[in-house]
Structures are given as structure tokens and as C-alpha cells.
Structure 1
Amino acid sequence: MNTSAQTITEAKGFYKLTWLQRIGFGSGDLAQNLIYQTVAQYLLIFYTNVYGLPAATAAVMFLIVRLIDVAWDPLVGAFVDKRNPKLGKYRSYLILGGIPLTGFAILCFWNGFSGSLVYAYITYVGLSMCYTLINVPYGALNASLTRDTDEITKLTSVRMFLANLGGLAVAYGIPILVKTFSPDGKINSPLSANAWFITMTLYAIVGLALLIFCYTQTKERVVMSEADTEHVRVSDLWNEFRHNKPLRVLAFFFITAFAMMAISNTAGSYYMIYNVQAPDMLPYFAALGSIPAFIFMPMVPAIKRQIGKKKMFYVFLSVAIVGMAMLYIISVVPALKEQVWIVLLAQFIKSTGVIVATGYMWALVPEVISYGEYTTGKRISGIVNALTGIFFKAGMALGGVVPGFVLALVHFDEKNAVSQTPLAQQGILWLVAVIPAMLLLLGMYIISKYELEDDVIDKINMEIEQRHRNQ
């Protein structure tokens, strides 16, 4: 492309990114997943089996922390939309929030105050608030890079590829490192406490380095003017939610998807230890929660072009349900459960569907931001990401609360590191297969209401740029 043609394209806001810029942006999600996935998959088992909290107590704490997020997220969204720090409107928080997040992540997995509920609350609330301080601006950063829908699809594919690389590093690496550092070779006993602290320290520091790299490779070019930011209010969150139907659809899909993922991921460790009774295979089972991303996420742009975004959701959500049905059937047939390779195959099929469907949903966020700008004249990326943040945190809350209460209901024995009663095993099976499958069916219905096909959103974006040129 010659210089004049490139200038015209950039003036319209439809920017093309280099591969280094795409990888740089995606590294921010990789960094966040080193912490988010550790919390989602292992914090409950750390609290119950290592730190010494009863399952019901931990469940209540997860709920309260998420309720705090409901109040905190919109404040962060309005704050970042109204301000223009010298380090960057959105990307500056990768540094400003990344440093305290690193500290709180490490402290969450420190057993110095073993059994202290107050310490657990302080560190977990601190971690959650700092995570929001990064995640909301990071989501807004996505929409500030370009309006180009094809570019957003590529950017999201790279982002999800790297996010799942982080998930793989957590799923496979965390159990291995904890077992290596633990004197008894277990991840779910009080003796493994120091191993958890060392492992989380390593992951958190690597995460901070990746956030810094993300900061250096991103450039914000589609943002509100400073004059417009003066009028941003927290109340814009409610107004946007009322008037932006695609945003409402996406928000409800977020809560369903994140609840499904959090419940399933949390139950995975319990499932392999107590149901399949193959704790040594846990790293492989957990790793298969991310490995399909490296096969299928690069194919997403081509798949979407062939069948459209809605059909892509339907296909891969159905694949995930098939995988969950297989896990259930395998677990109730003793002869099948002994064949661990079949368990791993079912996990691969389930994860393939989950990864593509929940990965691509992030590409819809810039679309609903543009739709809001089209209808209200305000490109409030921070507010919109705060709203989606509230819903995905609500999903995470369910992911923490539901497993804790189900385990309490089936009388899970947190002091037994080897076996559980048949009732407790049945509860774990519901958490790993049945409840997530029900949520996926609900998610399929919700996404059927999404109306922004590519031709519609392209027309909206072009009309927005035309308005800017006419001002």
C-alpha cells in the first residue's frame, strides 16, 4: 500500500496491525491468564485442602468478593474513560495495575496466616480489585486499536491463542511445579503450602513482564476526544445497558459462559483426584483445556467467513456439550473410567468447543462499543468493558459459589487427600459435566438473539467515520 492510500485508510479508523502488534496486545491476556486461570482452577482447592477453610466458607467469600466487583467495575470503567494519562488512556493501567496485582497474587497463595479468614478476604479482594484495574482498560484497549472487523477477528484469534497459552502454562505447569516443590509430592495437602507460594511467585513475575511488553507494543488510535470524556458518568453504564440491545445479549452470554468455565475448571482438579483417581494425570487433563486453542483458534477467521459468526457459536457450543456428555457417561461406567485415555479424549472434545465459542465472544465487544457510539455518539469503551466485566465477574462468582456449596451439600471431606464418598463423587461429576452443559444450552439460546452480523457492523463503523469527517 502506498503512503497516500495508507493515510486515507488510517483516517477512516480501519487500521491494519502488524503481527508484532497483535502478539504484543495478546501478551496482555496471556499475562492476566497466568493469574486468572490459577485463581479459577486452583484457589478453591488451595483454600480448602491447603489453607484450611471449609468449602462453604470459601464459597461465601467468593460470592462477597464478586459483589464488591459489581460496585468496583463501573467505577473503574468511568474513571478510565474520563482520564487521559500521559502513559496512555487505557494501556497505562497495564503498568499501574500490574505491579500491585503481582503482589496480591503472590500473597493470596501464602500460608503465613493459615486458616485466617480475614487475611484471605484482604488478599483476595485486593487481587480482584487490581485485576479489574487491568482487565477493564485492557478490554477497552482492544476497541481503541482499530475499527476493522477482519482485523478485530485476527487480533482476537491471536489474543485467544496467547490467552490459552497462559491457560496451558497454568493447567499443566502449576500441578507439576507444586508437586515438585512440595515435600509430600501432593498439591492438595497442608505440606504443599510453601510450594504454592513459590509457584505463584514465579508466575506472577512472568505475568508482570508480559504486561510491560503489551504496553510497549500497543497504540491507541480510536478513542474519544478529551472534550467528550468530560461528560462520561457512571450512570452511562445503565443508560448504555438500556439502549444497547447487542450489549445486553453479549453481557448475558458472558455471565453464562464464565459461570460454565469457572465451574468446570474448578471441578477439574477434584474430578481427576477423586473420581478418576488418577492425580498424576491431572496436568494432562488440565492442559487439554487449552491445547485445542493452538489447533482451532488460527482457523477462526476462515471458519467465520465460511459459516458466519452465529453458526460458528452453535457448532462449537454443541461440540462442547458432546464432550461433557462423554465425561458423564465415562464416569458412570466403571470399565470406561479406568481407561484414562478416553477421559482425556472427552476433555479434548469439550475444550475444543468451549475454547472457540468463548474465545470468539471477545471479538464482539468492539462491535457493541461501536453500536453504542452509533446510537448515542459516545465511544465509552471503559464503561462497556466495565459492564461486561460485571457480568463475567458474576459468572466467576457462580463458578466459585456453586462448586463450594455443592461440595458442602454432598459432604466433601477437605481433610481427605485421597478418596471421597460416592455421594461426593456424584456432586463433583455434576460440577464437571452436567451443570456446565446446562449453561451451554442457555448460552446457545442467548447468542441466537445477537443481531450484529458483519455487514451490519461494517456499515455502522463507516457511518461513524463519516460523521467524524463531517464535524
Structure 2
Amino acid sequence: MESQLTMNVNNTEAQSKGFYKLGWMQRIGFGSGDLAQNLIYQTISMYLLFFYTNVYGLDPGVAAIMFLIVRIVDVIWDPLVGTFVDKHDPKLGKYRAYLVLGGIPLTGFALLCFWNGFSGSLLYAYITYVGLSMCYTLVNVPYGALNASLTRDTDEITILTSVRMFMANVGGLAVGMGIPIILKIFDPSETSDLSSSDSAWFITMSIYGIIGLALLFFCFSQCRERVVMDKKETENVKVSDLWLEFVRNKPLRILAFFFITAFAMMAIGNSAGAYYINYNLHGTAEELSIFMGLGSIPAFIFMPMIPSIKRMVGKKGMFYIFLVTAIVGMGLLYLISMVDALKEHMWLVYVAQFVKSTGVIVATGYMWALVPEVISYGEYTHGRRISGIVNALTGIFYKAGMALGGVVPGLVLAFVDFNASDNVQSPLAEQGILWLVSVIPAILLVVAIFIISKYDLDDDRIDTINKEIENRHKSDN
């Protein structure tokens, strides 16, 4: 009885110091925010280039330049959002307020991106895509900061990240497998490839957008910020803090470069998937649905296992194992696609896609758990918990990765003379698509392994850092 009382006292004391334990409704509520964003982000990542070239009527090279320009806008916009978020405290919550305030216009622009009312208009495409990207930042940067505001507890953050990534991949699965199926419902004439019906695309995006907005509201209702910057410090936050934080926070620099590499790899592979199934394998909509869905399915097997895997092999060991697994899967995909006798068997393609996706999902999913660590490291070294600034910085780098993911496919397709009007592409065009699906992403993963090898914040060091921070706050009070 006495030991139980002591345990309860210790637990209460730990929670009072910021090491909060969260209930499952809070964990699921937080994760629903990433599920919501993925219903939009994954649709953009996987299908917007295809929509622009095959439905809207843009040249692949023109679309590639547009993707690059939008990312340049993000480089300017992201730090402004991060600074604004850190400096202000809306009544609805320092970070969670933007799930509502940014979520509503985000949904509107997502629908407009897939509306063909101004078919072929480059100006309309720019306006809607820039608007969507800016609103996505207005939701995503505060959402990323929200993670670090819920608790300092390392184990809890690992669980929280696992739940978040599990639900994010529910969104990925809903997009990867669901989009081709729903398109076919609203365009019964579609047979062997993705629909070219503009109304089918708009209705499909409307369904996903409305569901996503409802999930953002649910996330808002379940999250409470408890570990945030003191209000007296917020007035001193400025845009230049982003550069200062980047210079003095080595773990943040390493994580930032890992983000750009990982997101470039994912974006390039995702955007090429529809081309690969349609033109290299001449597959059906159902086969495309399965292929894309396998990009998310491994999450439901392996994400719940992350806490246990990390305890067994350590943080870096887990990254190494799964990054190499992804490279093996990409190698298999390339080999199968180069041998006619093998690529006729779609189940072999599915196996390779599953192996690749297993590695990608775990490695890129767990990287989000490192963001609260670099935030705490920054607070430990200079005394300021600028979560919005840090998430804006990581946002710049992962959007830079997305920029590569948008630019590289368009440029490669233009280089190999891809023609959307031809059902059968030239051998060079098919090879270019295959580079995008496997070769280029594999090269980027090799770079990612090198980058993450330099990260030196293990769990023991982070726990020590967080306890020291809380002791400082206690002595100040």
C-alpha cells in the first residue's frame, strides 16, 4: 500500500514537471490531425501532377517549374508562419487554434486545385496551388509544434508518434487505394487507367476534403497544450531566430537535411506510381489501387511495434534497418520491371512494393519523434522553446524535398519525351518512369543513411536534458 502511494506521488510529481502521460483518446485525437492532412497532402503528392498533365492539360515541364516556384514561396512563408505562431496566443489555443483557422481555407483550396473550370489556365493553377500550399503551412507548422507541447516524456512521445504515423498511413491508404476506386464510381467509363473526367476528380476531392476538415476539428477538441514557451518570452520571437536556431542547433541541422532527403525520396516515388502502373505495366485501376495502397499497409503492421523495436536495436539501429529494407525493395522493383517474364506477375511487383514501403514507412514515420527532441535541445542550450520556429524550419526542408519531388518527375518525363496522349510510351520514356519509381529514390536513401548516422541525441541524453529544463523552471518559480 505504501509503495503504491509512493508510486502515485512520484507519477504526480513527474506530470507536474511536464512529463505528462496521455490517454488513448488524446493520442488518437492528435493522430487524427495527421490523418486529416494526409487526405490532402497524399492526394496532392500522388495525383496532382497526373491531374495536371492528363486532365487539366498542362505540359509536364511547365508543371515541374510551377511546383518549384510554389516551394520557393514556401521558403518565404514558412518562417513567417512559425514566427507568428510562437509570438501569439489565440483564445482557441496557441497551436491547436490553427487546425480550425487554417483548416477551413485549406479544404477550400484543395477542392479548387482539382476543379477544371479554367482548363489549361496556368494562372488559375498557380493561384490555387500557391493558396493550398500556404494554407497547408498554416495548419502543418502549428500541428507539428503541438506534438512538442503535449508532453516531455520520451516514451510517451514515441507512442504518440507511432499513433500519429499509424493514422497518417490510414490517410495514405485511403488515398492510395481509395482514389482510383472512387474515381471509377463517378466515372464508370474509366477502364484501364485513372479517370480523365474532371467532375469525377472534383467530387472525389470534395469527399476527402470534407472528411479531412471534420478530423481537424476532432483533433482540435482533444489536444491541450501544456509545455509551451513562457508568455514573457513570446514577444522577443523574430524571423531571424530561424537562422540562429539552425546555426546553433546541430541536431536540428542533421534532422533538417534528413527531412529534405526523405521527403524528396517519398514525393518522387509517389508521384511516379500512377505513371508506372499505367505505362510500364499497363495495369488496371484495381491494380493501381493495390499498388498505391501497399505504400501504406505496412504501417498497420510495423508502426505499433516501433516502441519495442527501438528498445531492442536503438534509435539509429532502427533507422539503419528500415532504410536498407527500403533500398532492397526498390532494387527488387527495378529488377522485376526490367525482366518481361517477371513483370507479367503482378504479385511480384506487389511484394517488392510491400518491402520498399515497409522500410520507407517506419524510417520516415519515426523521424517525427525527433522534432520534439531538437526543440528540447534548443531550449536546453539557449533557454527558449521556440516550437513554431523549429517546425517552420523543418517545414522548409521537407517542402524543399517535396519541391524536388515535384520538379524531378516533371523534368525527367520531359527529358524522356513522355507524351500523355500516347497509351504506349517509348522504351526511353518507360525507363525514365522506372528511374523515378526506384533508382532515384534508392540513391536518396543512401544519402539519408549517411545523414542520420550523425544524429547523436539518444534517449538517455534527451531524458537528462528534459529533466534539467524542468528543474530550471522549478527553481525559477
* Shared fold, TM over 0.5: yes
Give the letter for the 2:387 counterpart: S
* 1:123 is aligned to 2:134: no
Give, in angstroms, the shift of residue 9 of structure 1. 1.7
The residue matched to 1:308 in structure 2 has which SS? Answer: helix
* 1:312 is aligned to 2:318: yes
Give, in angstroms, the shift of residue 182 of structure 1. 1.6
Partner of 2:440: 435
Give the letter for the 2:322 counterpart: F
Deviations 1:72-107 (A, max 9, x none): 000000000000000000000000000000100000
Of all paired residues, the percent bearing the same amino acid is: 71
Deviations 1:123-164 (A, max 9, x none): 000000000000000000000000000000000000000000
The residue matched to 1:100 in structure 2 has which SS? Answer: helix
Give, in angstroms, the shift of residue 184 of structure 1. 2.6
Task: Tell me how large the CA RMSD over aligned residues is.
Answer: 1.1
Partner of 1:51: 56
Could you tell me which of 335, 341, 359 is aligned with 2:347? 341
Unaligned runs of 5+ in 2: none
The residue matched to 1:59 in structure 2 has which SS? Answer: helix
Give the letter for the 2:46 counterpart: Q
Partner of 1:152: 157
Give the letter for the 2:475 counterpart: N
Give, in angstroms, the shift of residue 191 of structure 1. 4.2
Give the letter for the 1:286 counterpart: M
Give, in angstroms, the shift of residue 279 of structure 1. 2.6
Give the letter for the 1:294 counterpart: F
Partner of 2:111: 106
* 1:26 is aligned to 2:31: yes
Q: 1:159 to 1:246 in 2, by over 3 A?
A: same
Does the CA-based 8 Å contact 1:46-1:188 persist in structure 2? no
Q: 1:35 to 1:121 in 2, by over 3 A?
A: same
Inter-partner Cα distance in structure 2 for 1:58 and 1:188 = 21
Does the CA-based 8 Å contact 1:184-1:191 persist in structure 2? no
* 1:351 is aligned to 2:361: no
Could you tell me which of 285, 290, 301 is aligned with 1:284? 290
Does the CA-based 8 Å contact 1:178-1:186 persist in structure 2? no
Inter-partner Cα distance in structure 2 for 1:453 and 1:324 = 29
* 1:208 is aligned to 2:213: yes
Inter-partner Cα distance in structure 2 for 1:212 and 1:50 = 32
* 1:164 is aligned to 2:169: yes
Deviations 1:344-376 (A, max 9, x none): 000000000000000000000000000000011
Does the CA-based 8 Å contact 1:55-1:414 persist in structure 2? no
Partner of 1:373: 379
Give the letter for the 1:204 counterpart: G
The size of the alignment, in residue pairs, is 470
Does the CA-based 8 Å contact 1:41-1:266 persist in structure 2? yes
Partner of 1:272: 277
Question: Please, which moves more after superposition, 421-430 or 181-190?
Answer: 181-190
Question: Please, which moves more after superposition, 159-168 or 407-416?
Answer: 407-416
Deviant stretches of 4+, over 3 Å: 1-7, 186-191
Does the CA-based 8 Å contact 1:108-1:123 persist in structure 2? yes
Could you tell me which of 294, 316, 333 is aligned with 2:300? 294
Partner of 1:64: 69
Does the CA-based 8 Å contact 1:262-1:400 persist in structure 2? yes
Give the letter for the 1:413 counterpart: N
Give, in angstroms, the shift of residue 296 of structure 1. 0.2
Does the CA-based 8 Å contact 2:60-2:413 persist in structure 1? yes
Does the CA-based 8 Å contact 1:183-1:192 persist in structure 2? no
Partner of 2:391: 385
Q: Superposed, which structure 2 residues align to 1:1-20 within 5 Å? A: 4-20=9-25
Give the letter for the 2:229 counterpart: M
Deviations 1:279-331 (A, max 9, x none): 33000000000000000000000000011000100000000000000000001
Inter-partner Cα distance in structure 2 for 1:313 and 1:346 = 19
Partner of 1:257: 262
Partner of 2:102: 97
Inter-partner Cα distance in structure 1 for 2:389 and 2:424 = 46
* 1:135 is aligned to 2:140: yes
Give, in angstroms, the shift of residue 12 of structure 1. 1.0
Deviations 1:34-93 (A, max 9, x none): 000000000000000000000000000000000000000000000000000000000000
Give, in angstroms, the shift of residue 419 of structure 1. 1.9
Does the CA-based 8 Å contact 2:56-2:120 persist in structure 1? yes
Could you tell me which of 396, 401, 406 is aligned with 1:395? 401
Give, in angstroms, the shift of residue 415 of structure 1. 1.7
Inter-partner Cα distance in structure 2 for 1:125 and 1:55 = 18
Inter-partner Cα distance in structure 2 for 1:342 and 1:263 = 22
Give the letter for the 1:385 counterpart: N
Partner of 1:196: 201
Give the letter for the 2:90 counterpart: P
What is the TM-score normalised by the length of structure 1? Answer: 0.98
Question: Please, which moves more after superposition, 1-10 or 22-31?
Answer: 1-10
Deviations 1:215-248 (A, max 9, x none): 0000100001110101101100000000000000
Inter-partner Cα distance in structure 2 for 1:111 and 1:436 = 31
Deviations 1:223-279 (A, max 9, x none): 011101011011000000000000000000000000000000000110011111113
Does the CA-based 8 Å contact 2:193-2:283 persist in structure 1? no
Give the letter for the 1:393 counterpart: K
The residue matched to 2:243 in structure 1 has which SS? Answer: helix
What is the TM-score normalised by the length of structure 2? Answer: 0.97
Does the CA-based 8 Å contact 2:193-2:278 persist in structure 1? no
Does the CA-based 8 Å contact 1:160-1:293 persist in structure 2? yes
Question: Please, which moves more after superposition, 178-187 or 68-77?
Answer: 178-187
Give the letter for the 2:50 counterpart: I
Give, in angstroms, the shift of residue 467 of structure 1. 0.5
Give, in angstroms, the shift of residue 32 of structure 1. 0.1
